Amino acid sequence: MTDISQSAAVPGTAPQRPAATLSARLARWLPRLVMAPSFLVVLIGVYLFIAWTLWISLSSSAMLPRYDFVGLEQYVRLWNTPRWHTAVINLFLFTGLFLAVTIALGLLMAILLDQNIRAEGVLRTVYLYPMALSFIVTGTAWKWVLNPELGVEKVVQSWGWDTFAFDWITRPETAIYCVVIAAVWQSTGFAMAIFLAGLRGIDSSIIKAAQIEGASLPRIYASIIVPLLRPAFLSVIVLLSYISIKSFDLVLALTNAGPGGSTEMPSTFMFAYTFQRNQMGVGAASAIMMLMTVAAIIIPYLYSELREDTHGH
């Protein structure tokens, strides 16, 4: 191959050679040139600040950054703060409920939508629409809906059911469930869309085969279809976990971490300690804790995804 192309290129092509190598060099460098700005932005905006945050979390920074080294002192302080404990408990409570309810509802809706129903396109859009709203809008809207003076409680009482009470958002022990309700409302359509795509990818003759063998519809879903949705489950779980760990705007708009700090989440905690309470070191430590949690979820996921890719799946 090389012999042939060289001998063919020799007669009369000598003057063109620099141009050819220039364009070859350009072709080699162009992708890197195009990628460079975004690479630079990510490098500085993400990784540099991760490193900086890590450093701050190991320093004695309070209101302003101080570049000394105090070891894990800020982490000790963090874990001795009751408010951080509330935040961690809330995170697990919120993530668990949010994932369970969103996945259950999303899967149910996807299965129902997959039964060859009429106006599927319209319904799909309706369910997916909350995803298009920002969490701020969702939080504000649900703050009104859940407010006993304005929302559901008021409406039901005005219908005549005077004793009806739905005041979860005003009570510290239940307020976190209101955050779950709003988050589920926003994300269920998204889970449904992923599950629906998974369902559409299943060969219908598999279902026919199971029917002929006498399997009931619930059995077909339980034994055959849901196991086939494993990749969809994985995607939904990872994406929702990450949404829930970084959920900040929703809590801020809906409850502002209240009442009485009862809906504090790691993200709101981090924001409050870093920028409002002049304890930058503790805030940075909490940020690093969140990063670790996200990494613990994302890294195995990426690993399994990339490994499957190299196996050609």
Residues that bind other proteins (CB under 8 A): 203, 205-206, 208-215, 219, 223-224, 227-228, 230
* Rounded least distance, CB 232 to other proteins, Å: 13
Task: Give 33 or 212: the residue with its C-beta nearer to other proteins.
Answer: 212
Give the nearest distance from C-beta 83 to other proteins in angstroms: 45
Q: Is 275 helix (H, G, I), strand (E, B) or coil?
A: helix
Minimum distance between the CB of residue 108 and other proteins, rounded to whole angstroms? Answer: 21
Instruction: Identify which of 285, 255, 257 has the alpha carbon closest to the alpha carbon of residue 57.
Output: 285
Q: Which amino acid is at 257?
A: A
CB nearer other proteins, residue 211 or residue 278: 211
- Nearest residue (CB) to other proteins, 136 versus 217: 217
The amino acid at residue 96 is G
Interatomic CA distance for residues 187 and 243, integer angstroms: 9
Q: Which of 113, 259, 255, 272 is nearest to 188 (CA)?
A: 113
For the bound state, the minimum distance from the C-beta of residue 217 to other proteins, rounded and expressed in Å, comes to: 11
Pick 38 or 211: Cβ nearer other proteins: 211
Nearest CB to other proteins, comparing residues 9 and 206: 206
- Report the amino acid identity of residue 99: L
C-alpha closest to that of 83 among 254, 277, 249, 214: 277
Q: Radius of gyration of the chain from Cα atoms?
A: 27
Task: Give me the least distance between CB of 107 and other proteins, in Å please.
Answer: 16
Q: CA 109 to CA 129: how far, in whole Å?
A: 14
238 touches 230 (CB < 8 A): no
Q: Closest approach of Cβ 116 to other proteins, in Å? A: 13
Nearest to 293 by CA among 253, 234, 247, 242: 242
Cβ nearer to other proteins, comparing 215 with 297: 215
Q: What does the DSSP 8-state code read for residue 213? A: T
Minimum CB separation from other proteins for residue 241, in Å? 24
Shortest Å distance, C-beta 153 to other proteins:
46
Dihedral (CA of 61, 65, 71, 77) sign: positive
Residue of 92, 71, 86, 73 lying closest to 259 (CA atoms)? 86
Residue indicated by tokens 């042939």: 4
Distances (CA, A) of 238 to 56, 215, 296, 297: 29, 32, 11, 7
DSSP symbol at 168: G
Report the residue number, 32 or 311, with the smaller CB distance to other proteins: 311
Closer CB to other proteins, residue 66 or residue 208? 208
